Amino acid sequence: MSATAAIAAPRKVRRRNAVLGLLAWVCGIVFVLPMVWMVLTSLHSESDAATNPPSLAAPLTLDGYREFFGVGGGASPWPPLANSLTASVVSTLCVLVLALPAAYALSIRPVRKWTDVLFFFLSTKMLPVVAGLLPIYLFAKNTGFLDNIWLLVILYTSMNLPIAVWMMQSFLAEVPTALIEAAQMDGARLPTVLTRVVAPVAAPGIAATALICFIFSWNEMLFARVLTGVVAETAPVFLTTFITSQGLFLAKVCAASLVISLPVLAAGFAAQDKLVQGLSLGAVK
């Protein structure tokens, strides 16, 4: 390398970095643009929302949100939102209660062939949901569980349990064993060890697991669509009523989509750092 090149390099590198940084910004903005447009549309009146070319500077209004919350008549979104909340929160709690001991038996004090067990859990995730749908539907129909939110709680628990076991297994593996052995020497039994020793140390990981399970339950639509009706309808099923809408409804559909996505956005950003670990089932740290 010649002397001039060595001096010129930093400036060139700096310029290249600036260009690539700018490019990253452009990409980020392009990706988020549809969502920005969605927010803007939700704040427009229906007639301003449906113009071509789009009206950027139209006056802002909360009519879309009022319409969505059923102020002007129409179905109220509160029961579906409450159903979604019940199904997501309760199933997440069930997942934690089942997954924490299981992860303990797969990492801290592993059973024999613990990798086989771990892969059994993963394999259930690869079974297409749709293959088990019919028997579950028939079971629900014959036992009166159709259109019952507790059925969704059970199904969402089973849907998220493998993810939670994989995630927690990798989080618990990081808990120092000396800590657990000390507690056991003091005579603590498993529930105490889990709640008093393991849980506090692995708390950030457990919280991330919970948030991810919450997101998946909140998003789920196929089970909810087939197994619920008027009573236990969840928020995504409520959204499907917009699929065939006619006339002016863009502001309302944007408001609805945003409000219903809000819990997921909040949970996702809260778990941002652990999101990859959760989505890759603990394989990526």
CB of residue 49 vs other proteins: minimum separation in angstroms?
Answer: 8
Tell me whether residue 210 or residue 260 sits nearer to other proteins (CB atom). 260
Tell me whether residue 70 or residue 141 sits nearer to other proteins (CB atom). 141
CB of residue 282 vs other proteins: minimum separation in angstroms?
Answer: 11
CB of residue 7 vs other proteins: minimum separation in angstroms?
Answer: 17
Tell me whether residue 162 or residue 205 sits nearer to other proteins (CB atom). 162
Q: For residue 158, what are the CA distances in angstroms to 12, 93, 147, 267, 282?
A: 55, 12, 18, 20, 18
Tell me whether residue 57 or residue 243 sits nearer to other proteins (CB atom). 243
CB of residue 188 vs other proteins: minimum separation in angstroms?
Answer: 4
Tell me whether residue 59 or residue 223 sits nearer to other proteins (CB atom). 223
Which residue, 130, 96, 103, is CA-closest to 207? 96
CB of residue 101 vs other proteins: minimum separation in angstroms?
Answer: 3
Burial of 117 (0-12, 13-18, 19+ CB in 10 A): middle
CB of residue 10 vs other proteins: minimum separation in angstroms?
Answer: 14
- C-alpha atoms less than 13 angstroms from C-alpha of 253 in its C-beta half-sphere: 15
